[in-house]
Amino acid sequence: MTQVAEPDPGMIGGVPTPPLAILPRPERLFGQRAARFDVLAEGSNLGPYLRFLADLARVQARLAADLPAPTPVPSDRVALARASRMPPIDRHDAGAEPLLDDTLSALCREAAGIEMPAAARLALDAVAAATPDDRRWLLGNVLDDAIPVDSPAPHLFAAAAVQVHLARIAATLDARQLVPIRTGVCPACGGRPASSVVTGVQGAEGTRYAACSCCQTLWNEVRVKCLCCGSTKGIGLQSVDDGTGEATVRAETCDECGSWVKQMLQTKNPALDPVADDVGTLGLDALMRGGTWRRGGVNPFLIGY
Amino acid sequence: MNIDLSRRGFLKLAGAGVAATSLGALGFGEAEAAELAHVRAFKLAATTEARNTCPYCSVACGIIMYSRVDDATGKKRIFHIEGDADHPTNRGTLCPKGAALKDFVNAPTRLTQPRIRKPGGTEFEPVSWDDALDRIARALKDDRDANFLSLNEAGVPVNRWTTTGFLAASATTNETAWLTYKVVRSMGVVAFDNQARV
């Protein structure tokens, strides 16, 4: 989690109000995510997949640094979004932006150097060679949070490009200009959370931030509240019982709408990454499949769970 | 999900058309199977987080109480209490008394039922809630009937009951506090204070 240090009189007395949103710094974010994937890959059964995603995150970090700067959201759009309580980034329009297509092309080019199984290579080649119409279809599905379950592989590369592109646009926003929209909806791009983190950063200790699966913005959400339906009733937590009782990644379940979203305790382990550790804790997803709840967190790297 | 796959012929080679997980579709099925086999030996552990208000004083700090089922008793037991970082009053902070709430909740000496020490008795003995409330109501009524003042020294009508005091609790909602005030003051109780100020 990153935060720009600014003078804040609210800090006096130790009761500051946590910021609504923490915008991503794309290059640093994807770099740290790559490092986290590397750590998780050590000694994990999922090692090969996590190493592949680490390399992909490194490509994302490189693209975030090297690609031409995106056009910031015009200030009148931001003002209109504020007035209508809507996210300033329009994900629907984003699908047609030439820079997003360029980002996908660059990602395909760079990702070709990653070591990967034949199936992944085949999907990457198919995306690289796809017609503009087909590419718009891929990107559109990702931006709509509607990745078809029969083709997760090509959509993974499209999603990686969308993450880079939207994170770079989100980085140009002013977090103070954002307004809360609705529980479980990103105030920057309207995306849904991959998971949420209970942060330990100064000024917001113990508060929960949902992590946007699309633009990587972190936004404040009250704890003990379902991120799918906003209910505060019937909230429970499930974790893999390893005998210690000290689980740092838990599934927050909601009996009202029957869904669950992962919650990670950065207060216990600041290294936890809302996307990398979501993949790394696939075992929790596997156990939760046996329960009555369905997964509510959106993660293009975990389609099928 | 209905997808027009014929339009997406470019994906045919890439194995599209069959529902799969990300890992399976990308060729990491072996790693996925190993992880699934590994996790099969584990079970899920359930915990509950519940919001509440600290009962000590009128600041009314928000707290989050963590509980889980105790294997020995089969009952839920609180194992951790912390300040509620979302609460605008205390933003996650607690005073030393509030920080020790868990021991207060789980204390073996905690009062969990009404008890009475009868006139002349030396020990407290447990009574039922019905019995306790009946006794309290009887004592209040008798005392009020005997000592209620309907006129002051100047002969002006008043609603004054000075021989009974009332101490209210602090962990109450506005509605509870309003009702408490209405009931107690309507009966004429003058000595009315709140545990919140203790």
Q: What is the pLDDT of residues A68-102, one digit of tens each?
A: 999 999 999 999 999 999 999 999 889 889 999 99
Min distance B5 CA to chain A CA atoms (Å): 9
User: CB–CB of A150 and B17 under 8 A?
Assistant: yes
User: CB–CB of A152 and B25 under 8 A?
Assistant: yes
Q: Domain residues of chain B, as ranges?
A: 48-106, 115-197
Residues 6+ apart with CB under 8 A from A288: A238, A251, A260, A295, B44
Q: What is the pLDDT of residue B3?
A: 44
Residues 6+ apart with CB under 8 A from A255: A233, A234, A235, A236
How far is residue A256's CA from residue A234's CA, in Å, rounded to a whole number? 6
Min distance A71 CA to chain B CA atoms (Å): 31
Would you say residue B12 has pLDDT above 70? no
User: CB–CB of A45 and B10 under 8 A?
Assistant: no
Q: Does A18 touch chain B (CB under 8 A)?
A: yes
B13, B28, B92 member nearest A126 (Cβ): B13
Q: Domain residues of chain A, as ranges?
A: 21-171, 178-295
* Class of domain B48-106 as given by CATH: mainly beta
Tens-place pLDDT, residues B42-58: 999 999 999 998 988 87
Nearest CA in chain B to A209: B86
The torsion angles phi and psi of A34, rounded to 5 degrees, stand at: -60, -45
Min distance A32 CA to chain B CA atoms (Å): 22
pLDDT-derived band at B171 (thresholds 50, 70, 90) equals confident
pTM: 0.87
Q: What is each CA distance from A12 to A7, A9, A17, A267, B93, in whole angstroms?
A: 11, 6, 11, 22, 13
Would you say residue A178 has pLDDT above 70? yes
Q: What is the pLDDT of residue B194?
A: 81
User: CB–CB of B10 and A235 under 8 A?
Assistant: no
- Over chain B, what is the mean pLDDT? 88
Would you say residue A302 has pLDDT above 80? yes
Note whether A173 and A78 are within 8 A (CB).
Answer: yes
* Class of domain A21-171 as given by CATH: alpha beta
Quick check: do A21-171 and A178-295 share a fold?
A: yes
Q: Does A297 touch chain B (CB under 8 A)?
A: no
A16, A148, A287 member nearest B1 (Cβ): A148
The residue-averaged pLDDT of A110-118 equals 96
How far is residue B29's CA from residue A27's CA, in Å, rounded to a whole number? 30
Which residue of A50, A55, A141, A149 is the best one to mutate when testing the B interface, meaning the one whose CB has the most B CBs within 10 A?
A149
**Cβ-count burial A118-132 (b if 16+ within 10 Å, e if not):** ebbbbbbebbbebee
Tens-place pLDDT, residues A200-246: 988 888 999 999 999 999 999 999 999 999 999 989 999 999 888 78
User: CB–CB of B27 and A152 under 8 A?
Assistant: no
User: CB–CB of B44 and A241 under 8 A?
Assistant: yes
Which residue of B2, B26, B79 is the best one to mutate when testing the A interface, meaning the one whose CB has the most A CBs within 10 A?
B26
Q: What is the pLDDT of residue B14?
A: 62
Q: What is the pLDDT of residue B103?
A: 93
How far is residue B153's CA from residue A123's CA, in Å, rounded to a whole number? 97
Would you say residue A3 has pLDDT above 70? no
pLDDT-derived band at B8 (thresholds 50, 70, 90) equals low
B24, B45, B90 member nearest A15 (Cβ): B90
B26, B50, B82 member nearest A153 (Cβ): B26
Min distance A58 CA to chain B CA atoms (Å): 18
Min distance A62 CA to chain B CA atoms (Å): 23
A120, A130, A205 member nearest B10 (Cβ): A130
pLDDT-derived band at B84 (thresholds 50, 70, 90) equals very high
Enclosing H/E stretch for B177? helix B174-186
| Chain A / chain B CB contacts < 8 angstroms | 185
- Over chain A, what is the mean pLDDT? 93
Q: Which residues of B touch A266 (CB under 8 A)?
A: none
Q: Which residues of A touch B88 (CB under 8 A)?
A: 17
B19, B30, B43 member nearest A241 (Cβ): B43
Tens-place pLDDT, residues A24-65: 999 999 999 999 999 999 989 999 999 999 999 999 999 999
Q: What is the pLDDT of residue B197?
A: 62
Domain A178-295, CATH 3.30.1050.10 — does that match? Answer: no
CB proximity under 8 Å: A 57-86 to B:
none
How far is residue A60's CA from residue A63's CA, in Å, rounded to a whole number? 5
User: The tokens 């993974």 sit on which residue?
Assistant: A156
Nearest CA in chain B to A120: B26
The residue-averaged pLDDT of B62-67 equals 94
